[in-house]
Amino acid sequence: IKKLAILTGGGDCPGLNAVIRAAVKTACYRGIEVVGIQDGFRGAVEGDFRTLGFKDVSGILPRGGTILGTTNRDNPFAYSVQVEGTRQIQDRSDEVMDRFKAEGIDALITIGGDGSLSIAQEFAKKGLNVVGVPKTIDNDLMATDLTFGFQTAVATAQDALDRLHTTAESHHRIMILEVMGRYAGWIALYAGVAGGADVILIPEVPYQLESIAKAVKRRADQGKHFSIIVVAEGAKPLGGEMVVERTVPGRTDPIKLGGIGAKLAADLEKLTAIESRVTVLGHLQRGGSPIAVDRVLSTRYGVAAVEAVLDKDYGMMVALQGQDIVRVPIKEAVHQLKKIKSDDPVLLAARSMGIEFGD
Ligand code: F6P
């Protein structure tokens, strides 16, 4: 192996730079040249590459975002281009294969979530040597216990909950915190437990408004005249689709604009006669510096990804299983999301101590 490329795809996530730094250092110490691809897979199509050395990764460990331009969801297999004023979708994957060959790139490390790793997997099928690193604040990627960035998002949401607690108590209000999690409620569950929430609403457990109202009233009867609710943006009422979404050209996934929290606040106020407020945490969960545990995890992932390349163990994603970093086939991690199961130990612990899930 002489030359290695690295790219960051999908949404940004705390720890991207920590992975890049670890991978670049590990590779450079072994005399491997590293090429950074700017702007995710867009840079692979457009040929936007730059060499990364020790100097380029110096001081980036705590930095949010990515040093590799922007992260985005562009897909070379369905690349959106403007042709004479109209948008067209083109397959540009062959160009990427040719360019990598011409540049003498032996392998590609893709740092991404379900979308970017699915693209990496498609390239693997075309014969590209790829290794994946699991990234998403949502922690909903299969085949790994943890994705990097998740624990930082949880810490941010937990800090918000700590702050909401004191204001909720001061006004005898219901305080609702809407967190990210379109398809899975990992952030809501972990932040809810860490932040002492009274009610946690997740996509995996459809909720009934009456159950939540009952829990809030039960607390009031016990002399607790405020309640804290964490709701994942993808949570739904039983039998309903309560989401505010929009679509963006070139993207197939729905974009949530927030809304479930506001609807809940209005409905609960009616049912309980307790004043309610909502905070939508949004992209604060993705920005900023990774916390210590994410820096360690990101660093381990970056090192392990280069080790997989050195072993020529391609088509694999580095993953955390228990305390160990292992390699799993990328195809086992994509196209199917990791949801919270009804026997999840954290969910069960939360239920045991009386946290309401609205079911
Ligand atoms: O996949 C991560 C995620 O943060 C989701 O939880 C969220 O719904 C989505 O990205 C937001 O994406 P965008 O930044 O494109 O609006």
The one catalytic residue in 12, 39, 138, 294 is 138
138 is catalytic: yes
Predicted confidence (pLDDT) at residue 244 exceeds the cutoff of 60: no
Q: How confident is the model at residue 301 (pLDDT cuts 50, 70, 90)?
A: very high
Annotated binding residue at 233?
A: yes
Whether ligand 1 lies within 6 angstroms of the CB of 19 is answered as no
Q: Per-residue pLDDT for 150 more than 60?
A: yes
Q: State the pLDDT confidence band at 73, using cuts at 50, 70 and 90.
A: confident
Q: How far is the CA of 255 from the centre of ligand 1 (A)?
A: 7
Indicate the top mutation candidate among 111, 183, 256, 284 to test ligand 1's pocket, ranked by most ligand atoms within 8 A of CB.
256
Residue 254 CA to ligand 1 center (angstroms) comes to: 9
Q: What is the mean pLDDT of the chain?
A: 95
142 is in an annotated binding site: no
Count the residues in the chain: 359
Q: Which residues pair with 245 in a beta bridge?
A: 256
What are the C-alpha distances in Å from 315 to residues 8, 64, 65, 190, 301?
17, 28, 26, 31, 15
Residue 245 phi/psi, 5-degree rounding, is -130, 160
pLDDT of 12 > 60? The answer is yes
98 is in an annotated binding site: no
pLDDT digits (tens, 9 = 90+) for 282-294: 999 999 999 999 9
pLDDT of residue 79: 94
pLDDT above 90 (res 240):
no
Q: What mean pLDDT comes out for the span 131-144?
A: 98
Mean pLDDT of the 145-155 span: 98
Q: What is the value of ipTM here, to two decimals?
A: 0.96
Across the range 110-123, mean pLDDT stands at: 97
Given a cut of 60, whether residue 242 has pLDDT beyond it is no
Is residue 61 scored above 60 in pLDDT?
A: yes
- Of ligand 1's listed atoms, the one at least distance from the Cα of 181 is 6
CB burial of 170-202 (b: ≥16 within 10 Å; e: otherwise) equals eeebbbbbbbbbbbbbbbbbbbbbbbebbbbbb
Q: Is 173 annotated as a binding residue?
A: yes
Residue with CA nearest ligand 1 atom 10: 11
Taking residues 108-115, what's their average pLDDT?
97
- Report percent pLDDT > 90 for the chain: 91
Q: Assess whether pLDDT exceeds 60 at residue 109.
A: yes
pLDDT at 72: 81
3-class DSSP state for residue 276?
A: strand
Q: What is the pLDDT of residue 258?
A: 65
Question: How many A from CA of 133 to the centre of ligand 1?
Answer: 18
- Would the pLDDT of 243 be above 60? no
Tell me: pLDDT of 241 over 70. Answer: no
Nearest CA to ligand 1 atom 8: 182
Residue 246, pLDDT above cutoff 90: no
pLDDT digits (tens, 9 = 90+) for 173-227: 999 999 999 999 999 999 999 999 999 999 999 999 999 999 999 999 999 999 9
* Whether 194 contacts 183, CB under 8 Å: no
CA distance 164 to 151: 20
Tokens, residue 151: 């624990």
> Measured from the CB, is residue 71 less than 6 Å from ligand 1?
no
E strand or H helix at 107: strand 107-112
